[in-house]
Structure 1
Amino acid sequence: MSEMATTDPEGIDGVRMTWNVWPRTKVEASKCVIPIAASISPIRPHVDIPDLPYAPLRCKTCSAVLNPFSRVDFTAKIWICPFCFQRNHFPPHYSMISEINVPAELYPQYTTLQYSLSNPESLQSAQPTALSSVFLFVLDTCMIEEELGFVKSALQQAISLLPENALVGFISFGTQVQVHELGFSDMSKVYVFRGSKEISKDLVLEQLGLGVSSRRTSSPVFAKGVQNGFNNAGVNRFLLPASDCEFTLNAILEELQTDQWPIPPGNRAARCTGVALSVAAGLLGACLPGTAGRIVALVGGPCSEGPGTIVSKDLSDPVRSHKDLDKDAAPYFDKAVKFYDNLAKQLVSQGHVLDLFASALDQVGVAEMKVAVERTGGLVVLAESFGHSVFKDSFKRVLEDGEQCLGLSFNGTLEVICPKEVKIQGIIGPCTSLEKKGPSVADTVIGQGNTTAWKMCGLDKSTCLTVFFDISTGERSNTPGTVNPQLYLQFLTSYQNPQGQTKLRVTTVSRRWVESAVGTEELVQGFDQEAAAVVLARLMSLKMEMEEGFDATRWLDRSLIRLCSRFGDYRKDDPASFTLNPCFSLFPQFMFNLRRSQFVQNITNAAVMIQPSLLSYSFNSIATPALLDVASIAADRILLLDSYFSMVIFHGMTIAQWRNMGYQNQPEHEAFAQLLRSPLDDAQMIIRDRFPVPRLVVCDQHGSQARFLLAKLNPSATHNSGHDVAAGSDVIFTDDVSLQVFIEHLQRLAVQS
């Protein structure tokens, strides 16, 4: 059990909390500085999660599901809900239960389990279909011939990777939008839309000949008895099973050329990304509302035509920068964001996902498109070229099956059930509020709030959401919590898995109340500094987007100083006396690296983004963790840096010289060859399981690409340092403060009267 806690801190539940012991009142909670929050991975796979082939039992008052924390009267066949204390009768098919014959839901180790729902009415209206999923590819043709060749090759490979019963559609766009009718195989048949003006959904359907049939099947719930889950001719024309349209689509791709619309000198290509995505959303909404559908956009530059435009066609007009956004000097930004916000609402109502693969040296408008991708649970992959391994391997990972697949799931709904002492402020992550009001909704809102239920059009096995809680300020003497020191939270996630089956994942967790006025030590022992660092990073990212003039660095510094003042041990005005409990000791280091450095990943991934991991390889030892410090560099050492989006293999000066002399090819230097292979093998293992696929940089000490490592290291030795540098080590040319100086300043400020 201890080994599991070390290697898998999230355990079977996939839940990490900033505080694992909760203060009882709102005032005491505010003194904790770090908000009370939980980061949850709703469908994270785990070998010990049972899959039950029947529907769950729900409390008739609060809809919580029967769980191991429910009290049971086996004689009267009654169970008491731990959330609202409602007494519920077991149905007749539970009549055989007893103390020695309990159902799986009551096993103490099954705090998380999964139900297979054969009847969609048992939870929601999403009905499983015979289709595994739908992929509508939207390809930008405003790019050079070489780039278009790369992306066409990737698409051809993608079609061969898809399940045979997956539906495929294809739209290409440049100055105009072309919808390809794959069901017409005799010749290439295309419907063309102008890219210069916004096109209504009704006009899209009318032009594609889907108007009548879409009205006939406008209900988002499929009628019973509908063959293959769809019932209009539009599917057979524009969306075909991968096995049926592979030849036709390959033929279209082979004939496809770069956009032929003339570009005047000094102008950008007229790229109508917004209209293309709008047409794609309309097509999917007409043919397959409520199904597992993804719009996969492959974009090679900024939108400069029609709705969603982010820059003018004139090349002398630069793409907006962060400074332009801060000064409100980006004329296209607000209008583009409003367009994509409306597109997001349409996609969410249809249950469809928008993925963005952008490969360009210029910006493509992710800041504007972000709302549509995030609210639908889509993926974003940015690369320098469609020929780069970051794009090719990531694109393949989205579509392939097997161990390395992402486990893409659809039509998810998350519901959170709390005791009456706890309120939900909101969620930060890839979801949309379902505006389900109730007594558990807090007055203050963080992220997607004012609800206890959220829609996730797309989710996968690494999807992670952060839920923020508030403590209600009721009279403690009147609450059951004063009698029962335990509090319970339940997370209900319904979703459609890649095979089209509807599942319900139920996770029920228990934490303890504590009187923080007398139980500060208990509070400290319950602090999860890794989870807290990630939650603070996400909250900071949200504030940077939502609050005008927000100073992220100052906010982080103040939060850290307040935390250290509250929980540090020290004598007033004596920095030398300052010490932190081991439960807090890494937190200042996390904040130092966060200030120098992105965060909707699960806890482990986001922690690597905040504070990269560094491994050292040498002849004298196996791979060992090294300090994220310039002092870790040595001439006879290889370093492996993992900063999530990039992996860096850094060869010390001596190692690089020996490699260049070819020692690794000589039989007597097999140990050296093994030393060179080890970090590469370890890097490939990490790359194989990660999405987006990280960039691998192999560099040498004093080489130009060594900057990828040096930028992440603590600058304990700089060009301004007075002390000597060890032989074979390195210095960093920077004016940034080192971790040591940062901690000294923190201690001085934390102990001030």
Structure 2
Amino acid sequence: MAEMVPDAEGIDGVRMTWNNWPKSKVEASKCVIPITASISPIRSHPEIPVLNYAPLRCKTQSCVCILNPYCRVDFAAKIWICPFCFQRNHFPHHYSTISETQFPAELFPQYTTVEYAAFGPESGPALPPVFLFVLDTCVIEEELGFVKSALQQAIVLLPEKALVGFISFGTQVQVHELGFADLSKVYIFRGNKDINKDQVLDQLGLSVSGQRGTYPKGVPNNLVAAGLSRFLLPASDCEYTLNLLLDEIQNDQWPVQTGNRALRCTGVALNIAACLLGACLPGTGARIIALVGGPCTEGPGTIVSKDQSEPVRSHKDLDKDAATHFHKAVKFYDNLAKQLVSQGHVLDLFASALDQVGVAEMKVAVERTGGLVVLAESFGHSVFKDTFRRIFEDGEHSLGLSFNGTLEINCSKDIKVQGIIGPCTSLEKKGPCCADTVVGQGNTTAWKLCGLDKSICLTVFFDISPSERSNSTGVANPQLYLQFVTNYQNPEGQMRFRVTTIMRRWVDSAANAEELVEGFDQETAAVVMARLTSLKMENEEEFDATRWIDRTLIRLCSRFGDYRKDDPSSFTLNPSFSIFPQFMFNLRRSQFVQVFNNSPDETAYFRMLLNRENITNSVVMIQPSLLSYSFNLPPSPALLDVASISADRILLLDSYFSVVIFHGMTIAQWRNMGYHKQPEHQAFAQLLQAPHDDAEMIIRDRFPVPRLVVCDQHGSQARFLLAKLNPSSTYNSAHDVAAGSDVIFTDDVSLQVFFEHLQRLAVQS
């Protein structure tokens, strides 16, 4: 299906809610949908050139602009004019040969995104990627077997130069010294004690008073060398030791009393991992890969007591502020996030358990560091196994995992940045582009991105505040410019510097709203609304998400719809807005807004993926895609409606987190009778196989790997499909149902009723 959709993000990896911008703050507020840009900072594209020289910066101190195709160039005088601050800059001597027929790549009109390879003092030998595995041993024998097998596969796939470390934990934390191959050497820490960095380093023998922190960046001193030769070794040097260690490791032997949960000190283990990396590799790219099989019940980060009579917190407990451990655990992980961000390190979380493990509490540390997150039922499930393997794979399915990045944004003078929603942390770098109002990670024009990959997507919120001078003259530049500058360590360990410069137009929306409407991107707008709703639900008490979405949609339709006052039948929407109400209908019913049937861990997981995935994938999370397979027609898109169910059809639903193959009643009966195995029914065998092949394609390109559900009409697992369909036929309207179709037992309104109410409210005087 991805092949059918044109590449909307293009070379720049940028999509905006409004591609034409209103000129004033008042007009911007009338747009209802915020002015945002969704940017994929290191999205791969074959046409992005890599330049082996340093970028040219504007000499104005507050301007971070880099030479780009939108700069005006005087070739005779060898001067370029910055489009952001209008500063005149002289080209340096090595640009002396430029002319109108011969100029550098960054001035080519098609190269609005360029990447500079390492240059100057930052260049040097490529840095190896670092993986510190943190393994939970408080799991049953079978689960431990699955996770050990996955780790052994991962070790084989790691690049030879990659540095590897290993920590296991249960009731206590064991730091394994891989450099001591002759004998298994382990440092043990108590799991119920909150220890600081100095205590960790003292116990590991990595602390020498007066020396810590005095070494220059990138030059290891004796302590760093000691840590690297003992705890973090190249994969090629420690593969045998690590495999031996995994073979020997057993599940936690600490006795668990009847009626109690296992004592598990996840928080202490992650704290020790962060301290170890901070001592050995400060300021270089590294990942802590946590494999967790249950809730933390011991020490800092505890989410539930060891007594099984106390249930793990639910959404209801969080709403009533009755979750006794929640705020304390969140504060602990918030401090851990700050430590990891200052070190430039990432926390990845692989949680595999039938119960909750504390993803909701750990969310702050995973999201602020740009970590990956996967939630599965078991370490033996394909959702975990296949996803975990994808991290270390090379080739076209590689994630392009990159490290230790920063993002800076430069804007035209009347534009301010409110903040970013996505996996990043504010560096609190104030500048003239900072807005007064803050959304997400704000109060800055620079952000830390400890972990990046090819599909990571950040949403930047903008404010328009024209200066008095530009208002009084009445002469404004019809173009506006934005520049995104990303500095990062790529998977090969080289430092890269990517610059994306984009231009959009100011329009006078008060005089001519048509130009504004033509530039509306309804897919991006739907994703921005979903991200903003999720943020408000987490940060604002008593926030009624459904009512807020409805009010926003009514205001938008009232502003941009075409109608006669108080006449709902006259209401029409411009094609630029035509499917936006449908997106909002599905958003209201989605797992991001309706938390009733999900645990806090699941809700946190869904929202973290929504905030980091690109627009195309995020749209599928909000409004799943449905394909229909039948004898008479080739596979074709079907309406996301219960009316699409038919006894002689197969449906394929992609809701991002799960892929459902749904067989109609007749198809299921024929399959059960074995018709597809008979030579004369080859067409039926092909019909049965087609959705499986398409599902395989979706699963192969998706990260995390979705759950595959194969079900039949009226079967128990059919709920995975029915929950996503528009309930146009419910138990109230069963008499209207076509033969072979289905009904949904719900009191939810259908899309048609929703749209009728929307029309009536939008046209009201």
TM-score bracket relative to the smaller structure: over 0.9
SS in 2 for 1:720: helix
Q: How does 1:591-740 map to 2 (within 5 A)?
A: 591-597=584-590, 598=607, 599-600=610-611, 601-721=613-733, 723-740=735-752
Q: Matched residues in 1 for 2:202 and 2:217: separation?
A: 22
Indicate conservation of the 8 Å contact 1:220/1:350, yes or no.
Answer: no
Shift of 1:230: 9.3
SS in 2 for 1:156: helix
Q: Matched residues in 2 for 1:265 and 1:220: separation?
A: 53
1:375-408: per-residue Cα shift (whole Å, max 9, x none)?
A: 0000110000000000000100111211111110
Q: Matched residues in 1 for 2:5 and 2:147: separation?
A: 42
Shift of 1:699: 0.9
Q: Matched residues in 1 for 2:235 and 2:634: separation?
A: 47
Q: Matched residues in 2 for 1:293 and 1:199: separation?
A: 22
Aligned with residue 399 of structure 1, among 389, 392, 400: 392
Name the CA shift for 1:389/1:704 in 2 (closer, same or farther; >3 Å). Answer: same
Residue 18 of structure 2 corresponds to: 19
Q: Matched residues in 2 for 1:169 and 1:351: separation?
A: 17
SS in 1 for 2:198: helix
SS in 2 for 1:215: coil
Aligned with residue 198 of structure 1, among 194, 201, 205: 194
Give structure 1 stretches of 5+ with no counterpart. 122-126
Q: Matched residues in 1 for 2:388 and 2:359: separation?
A: 18
Letter of the 2:676 counterpart? Q
1:51-93: per-residue Cα shift (whole Å, max 9, x none)?
A: 1111111111112011110000000010000000001111111
Residue 45 of structure 1 corresponds to: 44
Letter of the 1:16 counterpart? R
Indicate conservation of the 8 Å contact 1:214/1:287, yes or no.
Answer: no
Q: Matched residues in 2 for 1:680 and 1:631: separation?
A: 22
Letter of the 2:37 counterpart? A
Q: Matched residues in 1 for 2:326 and 2:237: separation?
A: 41
Q: How does 1:546-585 map to 2 (within 5 A)?
A: 546-585=539-578
Aligned with residue 183 of structure 2, among 182, 187, 211: 187
2:729 is equivalent to residue 741 of structure 1:
no
1:608-648: per-residue Cα shift (whole Å, max 9, x none)?
A: 00000011111222211110001111111111100001000
Q: How does 1:458-497 map to 2 (within 5 A)?
A: 458-475=451-468, 477=470, 482-497=475-490
Residue 386 of structure 1 corresponds to: 379
2:54 is equivalent to residue 68 of structure 1:
no
Indicate conservation of the 8 Å contact 1:214/1:232, yes or no.
Answer: no
Q: Matched residues in 2 for 1:51 and 1:181: separation?
A: 40
Shift of 1:218: 4.6
Q: Taking every aligned residue pair, what percent have the same amino acid on both sides?
A: 79
Indicate conservation of the 8 Å contact 2:126/2:494, yes or no.
Answer: no
Q: Matched residues in 2 for 1:710 and 1:445: separation?
A: 39
Residue 100 of structure 2 corresponds to: 99
Q: Matched residues in 1 for 2:474 and 2:95: separation?
A: 30
Q: Matched residues in 2 for 1:27 and 1:515: separation?
A: 12
SS in 1 for 2:555: helix
Give structure 2 stretches of 5+ with no counterpart. 591-606
Residue 602 of structure 2 corresponds to: none
Letter of the 2:385 counterpart? K
Letter of the 1:154 counterpart? A
Q: Matched residues in 2 for 1:159 and 1:561: separation?
A: 54
Please say which of residues 661-670 and 190-199 is displaced more in the overlay: 661-670
Q: Matched residues in 1 for 2:32 and 2:328: separation?
A: 37
Q: Matched residues in 2 for 1:752 and 1:220: separation?
A: 67
Q: Matched residues in 2 for 1:213 and 1:351: separation?
A: 24
Residue 290 of structure 2 corresponds to: 297
Q: How does 1:127-166 map to 2 (within 5 A)?
A: 129-166=125-162
SS in 1 for 2:576: coil
SS in 1 for 2:208: helix
Letter of the 1:702 counterpart? H
Shift of 1:119: 2.5
SS in 1 for 2:396: coil
Q: Matched residues in 2 for 1:481 and 1:246: separation?
A: 69
Q: Matched residues in 1 for 2:484 and 2:577: separation?
A: 28
Shift of 1:416: 0.5
Q: Matched residues in 2 for 1:194 and 1:503: separation?
A: 41
Q: Matched residues in 2 for 1:622 and 1:209: separation?
A: 67
**TM-score with structure 1 setting the length:** 0.97
Please say which of residues 58-67 and 720-729 is displaced more in the overlay: 720-729
1:318-356: per-residue Cα shift (whole Å, max 9, x none)?
A: 111111111111111111111111100110011100000
Letter of the 2:552 counterpart? S
SS in 2 for 1:72: strand
Name the CA shift for 1:533/1:479 in 2 (closer, same or farther; >3 Å). Answer: farther
Shift of 1:291: 1.6
SS in 2 for 1:746: helix
Residue 88 of structure 2 corresponds to: 87
2:274 is equivalent to residue 274 of structure 1:
no
Residue 33 of structure 1 corresponds to: 32
SS in 2 for 1:198: coil
Shift of 1:673: 1.6
Q: Matched residues in 2 for 1:89 and 1:285: separation?
A: 42
Query: Cα RMSD (Å) of the superposition?
Result: 1.7
Letter of the 2:294 counterpart? G
Q: Matched residues in 2 for 1:554 and 1:215: separation?
A: 58
Shift of 1:118: 2.8
Residue 174 of structure 2 corresponds to: 178
Indicate conservation of the 8 Å contact 1:222/1:230, yes or no.
Answer: no
Residue 167 of structure 1 corresponds to: 163
Q: Matched residues in 2 for 1:472 and 1:483: separation?
A: 13
Name the CA shift for 1:319/1:645 in 2 (closer, same or farther; >3 Å). Answer: same
**TM-score with structure 2 setting the length:** 0.95
SS in 2 for 1:382: strand
1:213-262: per-residue Cα shift (whole Å, max 9, x none)?
A: 99345547113xx69x9952111101111111111111111111111111
Name the CA shift for 1:141/1:214 in 2 (closer, same or farther; >3 Å). Answer: farther
Residue 230 of structure 2 corresponds to: 237
Q: Matched residues in 2 for 1:168 and 1:491: separation?
A: 33
Residue 441 of structure 2 corresponds to: 448
Q: Matched residues in 1 for 2:5 and 2:620: separation?
A: 16
2:328 is equivalent to residue 327 of structure 1:
no
Which stretches of structure 1, 4 residues or longer, exceed 4 Å deviation after superposition?
A: 3-6, 216-220, 476-481
Residue 124 of structure 1 corresponds to: none
Q: Matched residues in 2 for 1:120 and 1:342: separation?
A: 32
Q: Matched residues in 2 for 1:361 and 1:216: separation?
A: 43
Letter of the 1:284 counterpart? L
Name the CA shift for 1:430/1:230 in 2 (closer, same or farther; >3 Å). Answer: farther
Residue 117 of structure 1 corresponds to: 118
1:274-319: per-residue Cα shift (whole Å, max 9, x none)?
A: 0000000011111111122100000011101000011111100111
Q: Matched residues in 2 for 1:128 and 1:378: separation?
A: 26
Letter of the 2:133 counterpart? F
Q: Matched residues in 2 for 1:487 and 1:438: separation?
A: 18
Letter of the 2:103 counterpart? V
Q: How does 1:339-354 map to 2 (within 5 A)?
A: 339-354=332-347
1:80-107: per-residue Cα shift (whole Å, max 9, x none)?
A: 0000000111111111111111211111
Q: Matched residues in 2 for 1:668 and 1:328: separation?
A: 64
Q: Matched residues in 2 for 1:157 and 1:8: separation?
A: 34
Residue 511 of structure 2 corresponds to: 518
Residue 337 of structure 1 corresponds to: 330
